[in-house]
Amino acid sequence: MFEQDIKNLDMNFLLKTLPLPHYQGFSGQNLDDGKPGSPSPAPGYWHRSCTHSECTWHQLSPYIGKLKSSIAHDLIHAYSKPGDLVVDPFSGSGTVPLEAALLGRRVFAADISPYARILTIAKLHAPACLEAAIDKAENLLSLASDQPGPDLGTIPGWVRRFFHPQTLDEIVRFASVAREAGNEFLMACFLGILHHERPGFLSFPASHLVPYLRDKKYPPQEFPGMYAYRPLRPRLLAKIKRVYKRNPGLPGSLDRSFRKCEIEDLEFPPGFDCLVTSPPYMNALDYGRDNRLRLWFIDPGAEEKTDNPVTRNREVFYQAISTMAQKINRCLKKGGYCLLIVGERLEGGKNANLSNHICRIMTEKAPHLQLISLMKDTIPDIRRARRNCRGTKSEHILVYQKS
C-alpha cells in the first residue's frame, strides 16, 4: 500500500500548496510566491564553473556525481549561521562538510564508502600549510621505500594493466603505508593522480573518472612515452602544491567529525542546526565500478564488495531515506533546516520522479518537518559523467524546516 501511495503522489498538487522562492541573487529566503505547479529555477550563476575559484582542497580527487562547491556554499550560507552544527549523512566527496567548515560551521559527516571516508577526512583535517604537507609526504615516501617489495604477480591482472611495473612497485608500497589512520590527506592526493592520460599522473593513458585504458586512442607503438616509467615522488609533491593553490584555511577551534557507517547505524547528534546532503543517486551511478581502481588501492581485499546496495536497490534506497527522515525528525532542533539535493534522471524515457518518492517518505516519517521551498537546477551536459549525457538530468533541492 505504501509503495502504491509513492507511485501515485502528484508533485504538482504538492507544489501548489507551497511558497516557492524567487531569487534576486541567492538568499535562501521565500521572497514571494513562485509559479504554482513548478519548482523555482535555481540561480543562473550555479551553472558557471567553479573550478578556478573554489578552495582547491575540493580538487583532491575526482568523485562522480559530487555536488558543486558553489551550490553547497550558497545553501549552507543561507540556511545556517557561523557556529551552527551542520550534518551530512551522505558526505561523498566531502563537498558539504568542507564548505561548512570554511564558513565557520561545526561539522558532523558520515558515509559508508571507504573512498568517501578518505576524501572527507582529508578535507576536514588537512595539514595546516603547504610546508607541513610536503614534510609529511617526504616522511611517508621514505617510509614506503623501506617497505619490502611486493610480489607483482599476486596483484590482479586488471590492476597491473594500468601501470609500468616500476611505477606499480612504488605505488603499492606507498599505498601500504598511506592507508594507515592519520594519512588520509596524502592518500587522497595519491588517489587523485592514480589514473589519467596526462604526464602528471601515474597510469598508462586512461580516463580520469571511471578507470579504463585509452590504448586505442594512444597505441603504445605510436606513443611510447605514455607507457614509460612514471615515478611517484615528483608527481605526488606536484599534486600537493596544486591542492594548496587556493587554501583559505579552516578555523582551528570548531569540531569536525566523521563516522563511517550505514545510515541505519548512524547516531545523529541531538539538537543539530542544519542538514545538507545529497543522497546516493539510486540506479544512476555505480560507485563501486566507477571507483574500482582507487578502491583497490584503499583496500586490496575488498574489491568484490565495493558498491553500496543503497545505490542499486530501490527498496533499500527507500528504507535508507525512511531511516534518515526519522532521525532528522527526532534530532533536528526546532526551527532548523533540512536540505535534500536529489538527483533526478530518466528511466525508460520518463522522469523517475525521485523527489516525489522522497517527499512522500518525509511526509510520513518526519511529520515535524514542513517542505517550505523547492528549486530545480538543470545539470549542464559538461557535469554529466555518462556517454551521450545519460544519467542524472537535474537536481531538485528540497528545503524543509522543523516546526
Question: Are the beta carbons of 209 and 216 closer than 8 angstroms?
Answer: no
Domain ranges of the chain: 2-113+250-285+311-402, 130-243
Q: What is the pTM of this model?
A: 0.86
Cβ neighbours for 343, distance < 8 A, ≥ 6 positions apart: 65, 278, 281, 284, 354, 392, 394, 395
Rounded Cα–Cα distance for residues 3 and 11 (Å): 16
Give percent above pLDDT 90 in the chain: 68
CB neighbourhood size of 215 (10 A): 15
DSSP-based three-state secondary structure for 167? helix
- What pLDDT, in 10s, does the model give residues 316-372? 889 999 999 999 999 999 999 999 999 876 555 455 678 888 999 999 999 999 999
Kindly indicate whether the domain formed by 2-113+250-285+311-402 is annotated with CATH number 3.40.50.150: yes
Is residue 21 scored above 60 in pLDDT? no
CB neighbourhood size of 62 (10 A): 21
- What pLDDT, in 10s, does the model give residues 102-145? 999 999 999 999 999 999 999 999 999 999 999 999 999 999 99
CA angle 367, 371, 374 (to 5 degrees): 155
Q: What is the dihedral of CA 143, 145, 147, 151, to 10 degrees?
A: 150
Cβ neighbours for 329, distance < 8 A, ≥ 6 positions apart: 365, 366, 367, 368, 369, 402
Rounded Cα–Cα distance for residues 400 and 403 (Å): 9
| Surface-to-core class of residue 311, CB atoms within 10 Å of its CB (0-12 exposed, 13-18 middle, 19+ buried) | buried
- What pLDDT, in 10s, does the model give residues 320-333? 999 999 999 999 99
